[in-house]
Amino acid sequence: MDKVLYVAMTGARENMFAQQVHANNLANATTSGFKADLEQARSMRVIGEGIPSRVYSMSERPATNTESGTLIQTGRPLDVAVQGNDWVAVRASDGSERYARGGELTLDVNGQLLMPNGTPVLGNGGAPINIPPAEQITIANDGSITIRPLGSPANELVVIDQIKMVSGQSGQLWKGEDGLMRTDDLAPLPASQNSQLRSGYIESSNVNAVAELTSMISLSRQFEMQVKIMKSADENAQTASRILQMS
C-alpha cells in the first residue's frame, strides 16, 4: 500500500498535539500571570537508509509569548505585577531558581513570602524572604518591602528585603514543566536594578482568545484534510485490489 497513509497519519497526529497547546492556552485564559505558548509545525524528513522521499510534519513549541497582560487592580498589598519583560525570582522544589510574573503572594505561618502554590519568593540575596509580624506591609515599585512592625508607631518603618527581579533577554528563558520560566542550565540570572513592579495589581493572562480559537479552527480543518487523504489512500488501495480481482 502507498506510504501516503503514514504521512497523512502523522500530519493528523501532530495536528492533535497542536490543538492541545491551544486548548491549554484557552484553559488558562483567566490564570493570572500566564504566558501563552506558541506552536508551529516543522517539516522533518526521515533520515536514514534509502531515498529521502518522505517528509513528515512535526509540531513544536518554539517559545512562549512573553507579551505583558493587562494589569487588574485588586488593592491587596501582597498582589504584585511585574512591568515590562522582567520576572520575579522564586525557588523551585529542587532548590534551583525559577522565574514567574508575580501574582497573588501570600505569607505562611512563619511569615515567609510565597507564591499561591507555595513556592518561596526570593530576595535580592537569593534567599527566601521572611517578613516578621507586621501591622502593615508595603511593597515599593523597586520590590523593596517595608513593614511597620507589630506594635510600633507609624514613624518607625523597617525595610526588610527586596524582591529579586531579573530581566530575561529574548531566548534566554524557557518555560519548564512546572510552568515556571528557567534558564537553560538553571544558573541564576543577576538581579536587575531597573525592574519595576506594581503592588495592588495582578497581571491578567496574555492569551488572545480570538487568535487561539482561529488557530483551532484552522487546525481542525487541516486535520480533516489529513483524514481525507487517508480516505483517498484507502480508496486507491481498494481500486487497485479490484483491478487484480479475477471474476
Q: Is 128 in the site for other proteins (CB under 8 A)?
A: no
Which listed range, 15-23, 137-145, 153-161, 237-245, lies at the site for other proteins (CB under 8 A)?
Answer: 15-23
State the amino acid at position 132 in one-letter form.
Answer: P
Among 28, 162, 199, 206, binds other proteins (CB under 8 A): 28
Sign of CA dihedral 213, 219, 222, 223: negative
SS3 call for 45: strand
Interaction pattern, residues 81-110, with other proteins; x per rule: CB under 8 A: ----------------------xx-xxxxx
CA distances from 105 to 15, 101, 114, 116, 162 (A): 37, 11, 6, 6, 14
Contacts of 238 (CB under 8 A, 6+ apart): none
- With b for 16 or more beta-carbon neighbours within 10 A and e for fewer, the 94-119 pattern comes to eeebbbbbbbebebeeeeebbbeeeb
Return the range that interacts with other proteins (CB under 8 A); candidates 89-97, 161-169, 227-235, 236-244: 227-235
Residues in the chain: 247
Per-residue contact flags (x/-) with other proteins for residues 44 to 73, judged by CB under 8 A: x--xx---------xxxxxx----------
CB of 192 to other proteins, least distance (A): 24
**Contacts with other proteins, residue ranges (CB under 8 A):** 12, 16-17, 19-32, 34, 37, 44, 47-48, 58-63, 74-76, 103-104, 106-111, 116-117, 133-136, 150-151, 174-179, 209, 212-213, 216-217, 220, 223-224, 227-228, 230-231, 234
